[in-house]
Amino acid sequence: MSIKAESAWAPRGWPAERASAAPGPDGRVEAYCYTDRFSYAPGERVDLHVHATAATYDVAVIRDGLQPERVWARSGLPGAAHPTPENAYAVGCGWPVALSIEIGADWHSGFYLVVIGAEQPDGERWEREHFFVVRSAAPGRDTPYALVVTTSTLLAYNDWGGANHYRGIGDDPREEISTPLSHLHRPISRGHLRKPAGAPREGNRDNPPIGFTPRYPAYEWARLHGYGRHHADAGWATYERPFVVWGEQHGYSFDLLTQHDLDERPDALDGYRCAVIVGHDEYWSWKMRDTLDAFVDGGGNVARFAGNYEWQVRLEEGGTRQACYRLPKLDPVAAETPHLATTLWEAKCVDRPGATTMGLNGSGGIYNRYGAATPRSSGGFTVYRHDHGAFEGADLFYGDVLGALPVGLAAFEVDSVEFTFHRGMPYPTYEDGAPENLEILALCPAVLGEVDRWGGSAPLGANMEEFTATIAGLGDDAPERLVDRVTGAGMIACFQRGGTVFNGGTTEWVVGLTMADPFTERITHNVLRRLGAHEDAGA
């Protein structure tokens, strides 16, 4: 797909961060790092791979949250630059180990930022970040909650080194060509892990006038301030961190796991009563879903305050490389094992709709309050089952709008299932994997992409042509309900299957918490307290 014209901030042709071979002509230096894995247990060693054009650099490890705690630091480390493959995004950087970090037995489970820094010739400080998660030595002992960090979605959007699962390959900046392979062994683009408070999100909160041209504040801010194009699409800084900070403010504690843990360790959730998922969890592997499904079948609960449950991925090379080919015909394993094709979960060859795990499907949405996608909607969910336990004490009535502007709870990407109305209440039609006892609590409008009314003169963040091309590319594997589809919906929903699954159905749930919206806060308290209890009564 190409466009005819671009504004100065248009995202196409946006250069991604790469490693330099030497200091710049003005003497400016850089330092990057990455770890061997995303997740470690107390007592294990984190090997840090470093590339630095600076003579010396420093490293600090910070357990992030409401009260960030510096737990480890070294300074005056000798810098060394290393060759980096042109396709490091697919094969990894291959830098040697520069130093190791011993995780203390007393380090609590959490998200640990690795901040690498160096001084520029003019005294300005260079800093970049990586991370690792420390798992609990005694799962479930100190908290009933295991918050699952969405590392697969992070890999999908990380374009450090030149490309990600969306774009970056090729020489024509007007063409978006993605890499099907995303490697763990590389740095992470600036902004996914740490950024200033107030950085724009993907959901729009302005009502555009007649004759407007779509704007994308998150892109514009990133380009102006030197952050990664996809900083607001995935990662700790935008999604999980605000949730953890809010939770700690209100007395909750969370052990942390990663999606990679769920793929590699079927017992990763053992000992917990509630798995918590926040933000943007667009990408999952078959094994990750197996682990979560087994947890729920065994009586465990899921509190999902997230949206856009869309794609199957596959972890390869010992979990260090993620594959997502989008179309089965492009995936080299699809012919032999069609159910593992890295494509839409609803594709006929895979036939495992996300709704069977989470109650809702990503492709039932997708966009609300994003560019030209439902640009003037309320930004909230219309409440239908106001007497559901999740809404207890929220003083909501039938027809109330939850999280409307200025909050914008129903924004960016939302999830849904096919539904119908009977006597003023929404019910699933059950044609797309919806569980038999799924209750639709609230609804919002959505579209599957932005329709181009500007004749190609305006860059669109989610052009409808992209979704149409994906469905066409699936051929016989395309679900009939998605062929020639334009509109969708967003939902808040709940169901039971052994345990209880509450699904907030939106990527922007954390906005309601950061803005101290009393309705969003009350619902979040209800869900966490009920699903974290020894005997929950359903959300």
Q: What is the pLDDT of residues 132-188, one digit of tens each?
A: 999 999 999 999 999 999 999 999 999 999 999 999 887 665 667 899 999 999 999
For the segment 407-430, the average pLDDT, to the nearest whole number, is 97
pLDDT in tens, 525-538: 999 999 999 665 56
For the segment 200-212, the average pLDDT, to the nearest whole number, is 94
pLDDT at 1: 27
pLDDT at 504: 98
Yes or no: say if 508 and 218 are a contact pair by the CB < 8 Å rule.
Answer: no
For the segment 344-349, the average pLDDT, to the nearest whole number, is 97
pLDDT-derived band at 9, boundaries 50, 70, 90:
very low
pTM: 0.95
For the segment 226-248, the average pLDDT, to the nearest whole number, is 97
- Give the DSSP letter string of 118-178: EE-TTSPEEEEEEEEEEPPSSTTSS-SEEEEE-HHHHHHH--TTS--SSS--SS-TTS---
pLDDT at 176: 76
Which helix (H) or strand (E) element contains residue 207? none
**200: three-class secondary structure by DSSP:** coil
For the segment 407-413, the average pLDDT, to the nearest whole number, is 97
Q: Is the pLDDT of residue 287 over 60?
A: yes
pLDDT at 173: 59
pLDDT-derived band at 4, boundaries 50, 70, 90:
very low
pLDDT in tens, 292-333: 999 999 999 999 999 999 999 999 999 999 999 999 999 999
pLDDT at 169: 87
Q: Provide, rounded to the nearest whole percent, the portion of the chain with pLDDT above 70.
A: 96
Q: Is the pLDDT of residue 387 over 80?
A: yes
Mean pLDDT, the chain, integer: 94
Alpha carbons 68 and 379: distance in angstroms, whole number: 32
